[in-house]
Structure 1
């Protein structure tokens, strides 16, 4: 066996040397995040004379339940010209057609008939002139879109599109792989979580709503902390898993219709640590050690009951020692819990729930997260309407 291992390792080293030509492993393959991989891909493209005029790549993800196209990551030669956005796909006929046909959508000059969309205006104001939009499709399923931009009008000629095709395939495969891995992990955790949902008072509607409240809050506060749309997207997907540890709480406590005793509440509190153990087991035993933004998932599960003044559990963290994703999830979770009917209480009105949240801003809740919820309450009410308990997403 040692001899076989030696031969195998020698063969691997030889192959790596051939691929890397003495320069080490490909940085695109070694990058830790999707955003880093996209930056390496842009650099590779710009090294090709036919694509040297490509100055920006951006990826946006599609959410079928809401028909939203959401900014995800970008790589460019300058600052982000678009910012954090989500838009109805149906509002952009050209992109709808690209998704239907699989063909690129090219705009040679954004200053000529480009329309007044926020994205177009943002690009033009930053000096971008040409745009190419490529749908990301896998087995007929729309995952999102890739956007290529140039400071020069007419940059996406037929020759440039031909040169772009293999790079676009790499970028598209990166997105499909990233999201497929994420969905596999979520399915594994969701299987465990669903057992808890069937035993718990929390509904699927609660999980849909609170994850979207978290997304609404995160889009406002993430830039304040130097976080990208990649952070926002993963928080959106991981937030519903915050209470996965409740599967380990006895029915007599989890489903008790009245107020818990001190001893029972102490048992209920163990769901946080149990949740962390479940996530660790899934990462270890199912081969997801390199789960994208795994630290974010652990912080959502482990910190959604921490309080800014240190009165929370299980770690008693204070202030900014609580990870941002934990602070966001707390506000989203508490707001929806207050406005939902439970066996032991009636649903609060939005006004009463907001009053409670605002009264506790600065001690229990992060003030910026509270302000983000309050200031975007139209979006919150839209989520309530669309994902009401017992209602299918329309």
Structure 2
């Protein structure tokens, strides 16, 4: 699995990627049912299977930044904020070698990779997309990625409780619905 190849550079990434994929599957099912969107099984599977690739661009990030135990400098933050663009570039290089039968799956993967750090209010990166400009699949993975990051111990922070993480996400008005909350 391509995404797991990042394990060589970041020992914790495999567990994060698998948790994100598992949580994405649960959220897609609940969201589809709750909002009565009638998303196709194929589309939901594309989201779930592509979610594991969301951080593939970190393979191009300097280890000194990935492993830094404290806060990032403004320069380091700019570097790490490039990982969605680097991930999109990696996927595009790979897609040149693939036949057209999987193109729709790759479009979902690219949306997730490129836009999983965008925010509903337009303050995210790399393109500062706002609201429904952010593809649904990227909104779903963004919520899951934030939740997992908050509830996992990192070199620079302790893990948060599930309740605290959900409160943070709710108060930030992160949204995956088709309408702002």
- Structure-1-length-normalised TM-score: 0.42
TM-superposed deviation, 1:235: 1.1
Alpha-carbon distance between aligned partners in 2 of 1:251 and 1:241, rounded to the nearest angstrom: 19
Maintained 8 Å contact 1:222/1:228: no
Determine which of 47, 51, 54 is the counterpart of 1:242.
54
Deviation at 1:323, TM superposition (A): 0.4
Question: Where do 1:248-327 residues align within 5 Å?
Answer: 248-284=60-96, 286-291=97-102, 292-327=104-139
How far 1:228 moved relative to its partner? 1.4
Tell me if structure 1 keeps the 8 A contact 2:6–2:13.
no
SS in 2 for 1:310: coil
259 and 288 in structure 1: CA distance in 2 versus 1, 3 angstrom threshold: farther
**RCO comparison, higher one (Cα < 8 Å, 6+):** 2
In the alignment, which of 193, 196, 204 is matched to residue 14 of structure 2?
Answer: 204
Q: What displacement does 1:220 show?
A: 2.5
Q: CA deviation at 1:212?
A: 1.5
Assess if the C-alpha contact under 8 Å between 2:139 and 2:176 holds in 1. no
**Greater helix fraction, Structure 1 or Structure 2:** 2
C-alpha change, 1:288 and 1:261, in structure 2 (3 Å) is: farther
Residue segments in structure 2 that go unaligned for 5+ positions in a row: none
Is 1:348 equivalent to 2:156 in the alignment?
Answer: no
Unaligned runs of 5+ in 1: 1-186, 370-394
CA–CA distance in structure 2, aligned partners of residues 343 and 194 of structure 1: 20
1:199 CA drift (Å): 1.9
Question: What is the TM-score with the length of structure 2 in the denominator?
Answer: 0.89
Q: Aligned pair in 2 of structure 1 residues 367, 300: CA closer, same or farther (>3 Å)?
A: closer
Q: CA RMSD in A?
A: 1.8
Aligned to 1:358: 170
Q: How many residues align?
A: 175
CA distance in 2, matches of 1:359, 1:264: 27
1:301 and 1:335 map into 2 onto residues whose CA distance is: 17
> Aligned-pair distance for 1:227?
1.7
Give the drift of 1:331. Answer: 0.5
Structure of larger gyration radius: 1
Give the match for residue 92 of structure 1.
none
